[in-house]
Chain A
Amino acid sequence: MINRRHFLTTVAIGTASAAALSACGNGSSSSGQTGSAEKPVTINYTWWGNDDRAERTRKAIALFESKNPDIKVNGNFTDFAGYWQKRATEAAGGGLPDVMQWDLSYLRDYGQRNQLLDLGTVKINTDAFEKSLLPSGQIKGKTYGIPTSTNAFAVYYDPAKLAPLGIAEPDGSWSYKEFNDFLTQVGTKSNGALYGGTDYTGVWWMFNIWLRQNKIEAFTSDGKLGFSKDDLKKWWNLTGSLRGTNAIIPEDRVTQLAPKSPFGSNATATEVTWDNFMAGYLGDSGAKELKLVPVPSDDPDNLGLFLKPSMLMVASAKTKFKDAAARFIDFMVNDPEVGQIFKTSRGVPASKTQRDGTTFEGTDKLVVDYEKSIEKYLKDAPEPPIVGFGTLEASFKRIASDLNYGKLTVDGATDAWFKEAEDLIKQNS
């Protein structure tokens, strides 16, 4: 007799069964089907990005196909937000594309749930990678992602905005107090026409860096929080005296300027974020030149900085063409000519072979030089964040925004964030 629950499961048109299939789908460990020049295999590759990236990727694919006549690559692309909804739907249906561009935030969500291929089982050359970088693509000893490129945190500023205010350009060796003073100075001297910056305590990765400066890991190896409520309170209190002054752009202005950033809209003098946003900021603001300096730290020897994969290459656990997928990934991360095509538009190439084979000029050179200049401070990249990290990062930003709106106190914000984080960790454990 069929019981009711079984019936419902069946009627659920494969939602359940497809998910079950996808959980145990990667039985075969062979290299998958291979092609020949006469009968090439076709793999699907998908990425997010704008028309510029689409154009560059098209060139890279054409180059790969000319070098590998036995493989054809079908490229497809969407914008970032649509990208993740599409991947989630495909994963639920059990049909992810063979090779995908990936973001660190989602590596655990998909990797830990058996959606991604263990790239340790196929042939991809990682000799030219920094050994400190590779773990960020690994979970529990399995390699799910190979970084294409790296980015690092930095403070951006526009020299042309500081000069008329008579403010000296920063050199990047500053404590939090000095940084706060700098922001205040901009706000005061410009009389509010230009804000110092956005509230950097609302940025998760900056918090992560501050934790590392204080020798605290954000997450424990068993997927729990590695810091306490007091740490978070301390962090959010760092800019407590700046909120509501011209040092920090008010949150309602930030909302109004979105989707452009305050810095890209020329509303602030500085921005604390990833160094590979350079091209975007230049385009948005129309500024002639932007400069990068390291983030503040109260311990001048420990800046807490690290290189993060700005994006990774992953393969679907269920690809029928493991060998072809591996060769394509290897090509995309290692080939010097690919470096020439992308320059720093994906971030600074992670593989030394690719980096050395690429000539950097102008904006690209700024970013590469910045990453060179902080080399001595770099620590190991963090492991891929916990499952559900995307949600945590978003709620961090949201709650910090509520804090700036004055809807929450620091204590209330801390409690709110911890409640959400603990719920999420419990949910996913």
Chain B
Amino acid sequence: MTQSPTLSRRPASSGSPLPRKKRQRGTDARAGYTFLLPWLLGFIALTVGPMISSLYLSFTNYNLFEPPKWIGLDNYTTLFQDERFLQSVGVTVGYVVFGTPLKLAAALAVAMLLNSKRRGQGFYRSAFYAPSLIGASVSIAIVWKAMFGDSGPVDQGLSFFGINLGGWVGNPSMTMPMFILLTVWQFGAPMVIFLAGLKQIPGELYEAASMDGAGPVRKFFNITWPMLSPVIFFNLLMETIHAFQIFASAYIISNGEGGPAGSTLFYTLYLYLRGFSDFRMGYASAMAWLLVIVVGIITLIFFRTSKSWVHYSGDSK
């Protein structure tokens, strides 16, 4: 039987990239390390040191100017009495829990809409990707504030349907929905990856299902979802990690303050403020490592549970 050329056939169903079936007999350490050399060099020279350094600093009091002072677990214990920290956790979790699935759902829906043999696909693809081209600059903050301000297009659009919320920008309970829409708006990358996955699903499957009288809903759940699950898994993992680390847009839209009323005080924004505005780099490092642990656990859980819902085409052999 031939291999199915499916994207992310096995992003690591067992938490490792090792294919179950060994492609070569034995191991090939020399070739392996030779090819891995660039990454290994970069990892050792530029990444490991700074990572360990930040881990060490998380146990110290370090103000950037004077040598760090060892204080053991103090930073970690202080975190849980810090109201702003707890607020930033709440904000970020809300964003991850609501923003990520919505963004992925939007990306998937649009990808499915574009997955047909019609004219203008290149145009639509470019149009939908365009927002993702724009970097996080002050221009984006100005544009976004205009869109969601009093009597901006969103306000007017909602008023048309009889919903009068006023401007979202200045309303602490509406800034989170605004941020979620901002991330959904920049759905280009996952959309493109979904589209690629969809294109790989053999058309024969749908033809066969049509002959059996399956409707679009059944086709989606019986064919699209399982065939696409490796791609969904990949996007879910990447977008979740990114969502936990949202920084640039948060920094720019709230002018680095996390306002109004702390409603956009995202985790990494608070971490940044602690490290570079308050000069408490030890504290910031503790925040960073706490995030590594939490997101690391979530990543592990993702990999573990993926076995039950992610279907790799090559697994059957």
Whether A and B touch (Cβ < 8 Å) is answered with yes
Interface, chain A (partner B; CB < 8 A): 5, 8-9, 11-13, 15-16, 19-20, 22-23, 81, 84-85, 88, 91-92, 109-110, 113-115, 250-256, 258-259, 388, 390-391, 394, 398, 401-402, 405, 407, 424, 427-428
Given contacts A113-B65, A402-B261, contact A388 B278 (CB under 8 A): yes
Whether B278 contacts A253 by the Cβ 8 Å rule is no
A388 to B170 Cα, complex, angstroms: 28
Could you list 17 A-B pairs, sorted by A, with CB under 8 Å?
A9-B56, A12-B56, A15-B68, A19-B65, A19-B67, A85-B276, A92-B64, A113-B65, A114-B65, A255-B259, A391-B278, A394-B257, A401-B261, A402-B261, A405-B172, A405-B260, A405-B261
A52 to B278, CA, bound (A): 30
B170 engages A11 (CB within 8 Å): no
Chain B residues, Cβ within 8 Å of A256: 145, 149-150, 167, 169-170
B281 proximity list for chain A (CB < 8 A): 92
On whether the beta carbons of B171 and A252 are closer than 8 Å, the reply is yes
Q: How far does the alpha carbon of A22 sit from the alpha carbon of B57 in the complex, in Å?
A: 17
Q: Main secondary structure on chain A at its contact with chain B?
A: helix
Query: Nearest B residue to A21 by beta-carbon distance?
Result: B67
Residue from the set B171, B255, B260 with the largest chain A CB neighbour count within 10 Å: B260
**If the complex has contacts A256-B145, A388-B278, A390-B277, are A251 and B260 also in contact, measured as CB distance less than 8 A?**
yes
B204 within 8 A of A: no
B279 at the interface (CB under 8 A from A): yes
Which of B6-14, B45-53, B91-99, B125-133 lines the interface with chain A?
A: B45-53
Interface flags, B156-186, vs A, CB<8A=1, else 0? 0000000000110111100000000000000
The answer to whether A258 and B49 have CB atoms under 8 Å apart is: no
Min CB gap A260→B, angstroms? 9
Given A23-B67, A255-B260 in contact, is the A11-B255 Cβ separation under 8 Å? Answer: no
Cβ < 8 Å to A, chain B residues 265-290: 276-281
> Known: A23-B65, A113-B66. Is A12-B260 also a contact (CB below 8 A)?
no
Q: Is the CB of A11 within 8 A of B260?
A: no
Is B63 an interface position by the 8 A CB rule? yes
- B66 and A12 contact, CB distance less than 8 A: no
Chain A contacts for B256, CB-based, 8 A: 81
Instruction: For chain B, residues 55 to 102, give those with C-beta under 8 angstroms from any C-beta of chain A.
Output: 56-57, 61-68, 70
Give the residues in chain B near A12, CB-CB below 8 Å: 49, 52-53, 56-57
List the A side residues contacting B53 at CB < 8 Å.
11-13, 15
